[in-house]
């Protein structure tokens, strides 16, 4: 019978690459921005497609000034981009990685709440 590993044994991971300190810090900053429920909701809405502040305010139920402030933070963090269409500013997610991250976080929360089995 093989011996069990001690709790203090190092865990060896076989990743294709190893992030450096700056990558961990930037990823941590993304998670900090996702930690706000309103910002997470806005990103979830933008995962479906682009929208302006009026549409996002209506869909999220948040106050317009709050939506504008959250979008400004997300834009400054380079998580969303904006473009003008006449007087209207339209927002969209910067890339598909963020869409996947938001969806995975919400799926994880769903499993926690519903007790559905975890995926490997």
Q: Which H or E element spans position 91? A: strand 88-93
Mean pLDDT of 55-64: 98
Q: Which residues of 39-57 are buried (b: 16+ CB within 10 A; e: fewer)?
A: bbbbbbbbbeebbbbebbb
Does 17 have pLDDT greater than 90? Answer: no
pLDDT at 8: 55
pLDDT at 9: 55
The model's pLDDT over 34-51, given as tens digits with 9 standing for 90+, comes to 999 999 999 999 999 999
pTM for the complete prediction? Answer: 0.82
pLDDT at 45: 98
């Amino acid at each position: 019978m093989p011996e069990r590993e001690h709790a203090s044994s190092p865990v060896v991971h076989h990743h294709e690459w190893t992030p450096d300190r700056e990558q961990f810090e930037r990823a941590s900053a993304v998670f900090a921005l996702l930690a706000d429920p309103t910002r997470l909701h806005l990103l979830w809405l933008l995962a479906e497609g682009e929208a302006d502040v009026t549409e996002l305010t209506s869909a999220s139920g948040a106050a317009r000034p709050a939506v504008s402030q959250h979008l400004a933070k997300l834009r400054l963090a380079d998580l969303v981009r904006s473009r003008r269409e006449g007087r209207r500013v339209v927002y969209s997610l910067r890339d598909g990685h963020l869409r996947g991250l938001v969806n995975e976080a919400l799926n994880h929360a769903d499993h926690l709440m519903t007790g559905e089995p975890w995926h490997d």
